[in-house]
Amino acid sequence: MNMIVCIKQVVDPEAPPASFKVDTVTNKVVPSPGVSPVISPFDEQAVEAALRIKDAQGGKITVISLGTNLLKEVVKKPLSMGADELILLEDEAFAEGDSWSTAYALAMAIKKIGDYDLIFCGRQATDWNAGQVGSGIADFLGLPSVTVAQKIDITDDKARVERVTDDGYDIIEVSLPALITVSNELGEPRYPTLKGIMASKKKQPITWKPADIDVDPAQIGAAGRRTSLVKLFQPLSEVKCQIIEGESPEEAAVNLALKLREDKIL
Amino acid sequence: MAKHKGVMIYGEVTEGKLATITAELLGCGRKLADDLGEELYAALIGNDVSDTANEAIAFGADKVYVVDDPLLKDYHTDSYVSVMEKVIKQVTPQILILGQTSIGRDLAPRLAFRLNTAATMDCLELDIDPDSKRLLHTKPVYGGNAQAVFTYDTYPQIATVRVKAMSPLERDASRQGEVITIETGLDPSAIRTKVLEKVREEIGGIKLEDAEVVVGGGRGIGSAEGFQQLEELAKILKGAVGASRPPIDNGWAPAGLQIGLTGKIITPNLYIAVALSGTSQHITGCSGSRKIVAINKDPEANIFKLAHYGIVGDWKQIIPAFTNKIEELLAE
């Protein structure tokens, strides 16, 4: 089973909201000192999905990451979790893309890898929350796709995928090769083991430039964007919280109930 | 561009009825179509969906395009993308709006790539730019920490809209419209997926999305037993229980109870947030609540920035006393 997982380095979504700032002149996020980037959590779960299949029946996992200023200690994490290879699409020409240009470049890189049965992506990245790149890669490569998966089982040349729906899940069978996007319901990704960390130290990522994957320069990064960002802003919250107090927690609780009644909320 | 005219919404039908989101999309689409001085179309795709076409007209559509075929009984990416590609190429609308539902979030991106255009997912607002006449898509980004406005010059301009973000029009059965049937032209062998089973998670009581009162628990609840206590409070308030992500990932509450960016969007009259810090991705799911009460032992917790009422303290001491008092007050 040859598997490919696409991962993205993002601003840590668990960082305190107070640390998040936007420059409304440049329409860019201001990096907060002390907040380190991470792999987008859904992408880490995509790595976990591939590792579970590798545990069950063996296989090879190639991880691809597109971006700029990629930190080795961040993007190498899948290797220390148990993935086999890491390919970086790192070049200024790939920067400032949107779902379109990113999916195109990743699809071209996957074409170059050539031999694959399954491609995994996170259901969406935690920065732009678009949730389109997986479907885009599948369309460029002409592959079937199943999005928002919580469980994947492989039997022969098919995958059985539990796809999360609005009120439960569907069990979907899809022929391979296929692309699957993974949701958080899959469960927590594993921690890297010491052995994994040592092994990953010896592995060097392979970097591919635009010319290496035979892309049309007009279709990647900022040049290939279909969408333009008009404005990026932080919505104002104007709520003033009334803190309800009491001699004891129990009394505060009673006072809260009385207050809600008084204000006709109950 | 000249040949791209009109606003189309992608309608969903559940159990033979027009889905709530579809009425919301028609309300939003009607306004955009009127701003442009163009027509509003609805596309209804599935099996046995023709009966709902008149409903779509009553909620604002001028023309309803129906693709009705047993092959379309279940949603498959391959079949639905291919049918919608055909509908779009025939009708050539300049805007296509879908719901941010399990179908919409799968269909919209792939259709956008197929048609060589772009989509913006999970929009909260859609407006026509008065100068360019293009669609301005406003959506939350960075887990709700910020909002972004996008625009593009490829057609159709595709957007998905968050559930409950738009208001439906008053149903008007006297509205006139036209129903047009389109053949599927589907090759069954081109569908590469099979639906083996549809598992519906039965959650007893009132549905989270419909509840007037929601009691939400976070990481601080610590166990499934803790959630039973929240359940008691919810029951007395005739409400529903929800959760932030950590309880779901830890298995203390079923996945269907997740409130947030990747879970349910709730808009109750009252949201009682217990032992949850209020991460942006959770807030994005509950910020439409009319009043928020926060109970958290950390006075710096982000949830207090959104809450109208708060108690700083341990929920284990507060919730039992609060539950008893509420029961007493409601019995009066």
How buried is residue A12: exposed, middle or buried, by Cβ count under 10 Å (0-12/13-18/19+)? middle
Domain boundaries, chain A: 2-224, 236-266
CA–CA dist B298, B270 (Å, integer): 21
User: How much is the average pLDDT of B145-164?
Assistant: 95
Please give the average per-residue pLDDT across B306-324, as a whole number: 97
Q: What is the CATH number of the domain that holds B260?
A: 3.40.50.1220
Residues of A in contact with B110 (CB under 8 A): 135-136, 138-139, 145
Are B184 and B212 contained in the same domain? no
| Nearest chain B CA: its distance from A10 CA (Å) | 10
Query: Does residue B109 sit in the same domain as residue B79?
Result: yes
Last residue of a domain, one of B128, B157, B190: B190
Do the Cβ atoms of B78 and A14 come within 8 Å?
no
Which of B325, B327, B328, B330 has the highest number of chain A CBs within 10 A, making it the mutation to test binding with A? B325
At A238 the pLDDT is 72
Closest CB from A127, A150, A165 relative to B102: A165
B-chain residues near A183 (CB < 8 A)? 262
Same domain, B157 and B233: no
CA-closest candidate to residue A51, choices A41, A39, A42, A59: A59
DSSP code, position B297: S
Number of structural domains found in chain B: 2
A142 part of contact set with chain B, CB < 8 Å = no
Residue type, B1: M
Q: Do A234 and B146 touch (CB under 8 A)?
A: yes
Q: For all residues of chain B together, what is the average pLDDT?
A: 95
B214 plus B186 within the same structural domain: no
C-beta of residue B112 within 8 angstroms of C-beta of residue B118: yes
Q: Which residues of chain B have a CB within 8 Å of the CB of A14?
A: 279
Nearest alpha carbon to residue B260 among B227, B224, B287: B287
Partner B contacted by A102 (CB < 8 A) = no
**Which chain B residues are within 8 Å of A29, Cβ to Cβ?**
142, 146
Residues of A in contact with B329 (CB under 8 A): 257-258, 261, 266
**Rg (alpha carbons) of chain B, rounded to whole number:** 22
My answer on whether B271 and B311 are in the same domain is yes
- Which of B109, B193, B318 is nearest residue A146 as measured by Cβ atoms? B193
Residue B198 lies in a domain: no
B312 membership: H or E segment, kind and range = strand B309-312
A54 pLDDT higher than 90: yes
Mutate to test the interface with B, among A104, A121, A126 (most CBs of B within 10 A): A126
- Confidence label for B275 from pLDDT (cuts 50, 70 and 90): very high
Contacts of A202 (CB under 8 A, 6+ apart): none
Same domain, B278 and B172: no
Confidence band of B172 (pLDDT split at 50, 70, 90): very high
Please name the CATH architecture into which domain A2-224 falls. 3-Layer(aba) Sandwich (3.40)
pLDDT digit string (tens) for B114-140?
Answer: 999 999 999 999 999 999 999 999 999
Chain A residues with CB under 8 Å of B200 CB are: 167-168
Q: Find the CB nearest A145 among B110, B146, B283.
A: B110
Residue-range definition of the domain harbouring residue B64: 7-190
CB B303 within 8 A of CB B287: no
| Final residue before a domain boundary, out of B156, B190, B224 | B190
Residue with token string 């040049």: A223
Query: Per-residue pLDDT tens for B197-239?
Result: 999 877 677 889 889 999 999 999 999 999 999 999 999 999 9
Q: What percent of chain A has pLDDT over 90?
A: 88
Phi/psi at A56 (5° precision): -75, -40
Q: Does residue B41 sit in the same domain as residue B76?
A: yes
Q: Are A108 and A215 spatial neighbours (Cβ–Cβ below 8 Å)?
A: yes
Residue in the block written with tokens 């007893």: B204
Helices (H) and strands (E) in chain B, counts: 8, 18
Instruction: Give which of A237, A250, A251, A259 to mutate to test B binding, by max B Cβ within 10 Å.
Output: A250
- State whether B140 and B166 are in the same domain: yes
Dihedral angle sign, alpha carbons of residues A257, B266, A38, A181: positive
Task: Measure the N-to-C terminal CA separation of chain B; round to a whole number of Å.
Answer: 64
Please name the residue of chain A whose CA is at the shortest distance from the CA of residue B314: A249
Peptide linkage before A33 cis (omega within 30 of 0): no
Q: Would you say residue B201 lies in a domain?
A: no
Residue pairs between chains A and B whose CB atoms are closer than 8 Å: 250
Our measurement of the distance from residue A74's CA atom to the centroid of its chain's CA atoms, rounded to an integer in Å, reads: 13
Q: Name the band, by pLDDT with cuts 50, 70 and 90, for residue B328.
A: very high
Inter-chain contact B139–A98, Cβ cutoff 8 Å?
Answer: no
β-pair partners for B285: none
Query: Is the CB of residue A155 less than 8 Å away from at least one CB of chain B?
Result: no
Q: Express each pLDDT in B14-36 by its tens digit.
A: 989 999 999 999 999 999 999 99
* Assigned domain for B74 exists: yes
Indicate yes or no: pTM above 0.80: yes
* B184 and B323 part of one domain: no
Q: Does A26 touch chain B (CB under 8 A)?
A: no
In a domain, B200, yes or no: no
Side chain identity at residue A231, one-letter code: K
- End-to-end Cα spacing for chain A: 58
Which domain-ending residue is among B190, B224, B251?
A: B190
